A = this chain, B = another copy of it.
């Protein structure tokens, strides 16, 4: 039950944003071995003046199409996190065509016990 919060500026189409969400989920399924139904995503759109970053962060030019992705997940080994750093930009580059330079990822790891969702029988589905 990871949570992905996707932040970007106003000015994209719904189809574009949906492709972003789909690509991130695809990357998370592959990197973290979560199931297709284990999907929780929130998309936050911002006016440009409320989405602030340096245009030339770390010597690389970032654009108006920058996307900041904050994913809360249960603790993962470094290999899985690195797989995410490979697969999220790769899938976003494929669809909807986000430049790698415009992708920013932050992972917040929590304990497996820090999720709750209703399940018909114990144990809870949480922990992914």
Contact = CB atoms under 8 A, between A and B. Distances in A.
Interface of A: 1, 3, 7, 14, 17-18, 21, 36-46, 49-54, 56-60, 68, 70, 72, 78, 81, 84-85, 88-89, 100-101, 103-111, 113-120, 124-125
Nearest to A54: B37
Copies of this chain present: 3
A51 to B, nearest CB: 6
A118 B98 CA distance: 12
A120 B50 contact: no
Contacts of A124: 85
Nearest to A125: B58
Residue picked from A39, A109, A117, most chain B C-beta under 10 Å? A117
Contacts of A119: 58-60
A89 B118 contact: yes
